[in-house]
Structure formats: C-alpha cells, structure tokens
C-alpha cells in the first residue's frame, strides 16, 4: 500500500497542488496530513486528489471546527491531536509538538510507523523497532525546501520528494 505523507502546508496552495499531482501520479491509496494546514480554505487544493485524506490538527490550526467540517464535507477524516490507524501495519499520526511524547510512542512498540509534523524538516529514524517519519514542510517557509514523502506498507520503504 502506498501512502502519501504531507505536513505543515501553512496555506501554501501551489505546494499543496503540486503534492496532490505527485500523489496522484504515484497512485497513493491514502494521504496523511501531519497538521498545520492553517486556514480551512487550503483544503480546496486537496480536492483533485484521487484518494482519501486523513489529518490531525497542528499547533497553528486555530480553526479546528471549520477544518473538521471541511474534512467531513469531503468524506475525509480529521482528528484533534492523534490518530491510530491500521494501514497494512499500525501507524500513529500526530503533529508532534513534544519530542518526548513522540519518542515515548516510538518506544512503546505499539506502532510500526509514527508520522509526525511540526519540526519542518525531513526525518527518518528508527527508535526500537518503530519507524519515525516527518515528510518535511510542504510550505518550505522555514527550511527553504518544500517536501513530501511516499511510504510503502508493510515494507516501510520511504521516499522523500521535493516539490
């Protein structure tokens, strides 16, 4: 199963549109968003996607109810802080403001993969047996690099893609 990973879009519509094009070309079966969409209008740019979107709220997603409603209206799923998913393996999805919580989740052994956002840089790390992934920032505002990732399950093969 191919899973598209994106985070920290921060209303950067051209990056979201490019990410969706790549995810469609890659034939991903689902897209996971690690938070910090910022404004609900940015969800419009995900509509051309050929698949479902599952997201979590980031620390800068102040309009939670409007984001939740936008997800719901499109048949997508939005979680407040955390999602535990079964996608050919167990996946935790969270924004990941606290590194201690992220590391604790990884050490718990409960998940094959943890997908997080917030840090605005690519991350691929094994903690115990758990793959910890941040696709980087789609917006490119802090690092100057816009990126996403494609995760293949159950093998946990990961590719970062520049936008």
Question: Can you tell me the distance from the alpha carbon of 25 to that of 152, in angstroms, rounded to the nearest whole number?
Answer: 15
- 49-103 pLDDT per residue, tens: 999 999 999 999 999 999 999 999 999 999 999 999 999 999 999 998 899 999 9
* pLDDT for the residue numbered 69: 97
* Dihedral-angle region of residue 83 (phi above 0 means left; psi in -120 to 50 means alpha; beta otherwise): beta
Contact status, residue 148 vs residue 5, Cβ threshold 8 Å? yes
Task: Report the pLDDT value the prediction gives residue 89, as an integer from 0 to 100.
Answer: 97
Q: What are phi and psi of 82, to 5 degrees?
A: -155, 140
Neighbours of 104 (CB within 10 A): 11
So what's the pLDDT on residue 96?
A: 86
Entry pTM: 0.96
What domains are there in the chain, each with its CATH number?
2-162 (3.60.21.10)
Per-residue model confidence (pLDDT) at position 97: 84
Report the DSSP beta bridge partners of residue 55: 33, 78
**What pLDDT is attached to residue 162?**
98
Q: What's the Cα-to-Cα distance from 103 to each of 71, 111, 114, rounded to whole Å?
A: 28, 12, 10
Strand partners, 150: 4, 159
Across the range 111-118, mean pLDDT stands at: 98
pLDDT of residue 73: 97
């Amino acid at each position: 199963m191919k899973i598209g990973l994106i985070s920290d879009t921060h209303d950067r519509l051209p990056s979201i549109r490019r990410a969706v094009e790549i995810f469609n070309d890659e034939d991903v079966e689902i897209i996971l968003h690690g938070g910090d969409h910022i404004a609900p209008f940015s969800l419009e740019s995900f509509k051309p996607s050929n698949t479902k979107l599952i997201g979590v709220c980031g620390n800068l997603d102040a309009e939670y109810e409007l984001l939740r409603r936008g997800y719901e209206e499109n048949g997508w799923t939005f979680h407040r802080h955390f999602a535990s998913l079964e996608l050919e393996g167990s996946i935790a999805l969270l924004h990941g403001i606290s590194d201690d919580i992220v590391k604790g989740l990884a050490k718990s052994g409960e998940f094959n993969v943890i997908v997080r956002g917030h840090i605005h840089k690519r991350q691929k790390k094994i903690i115990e047996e758990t793959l910890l992934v941040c696709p980087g920032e789609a917006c490119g505002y802090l690092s100057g690099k816009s990126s996403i990732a494609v995760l293949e399950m159950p093998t946990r093969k990961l590719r970062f893609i520049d936008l």
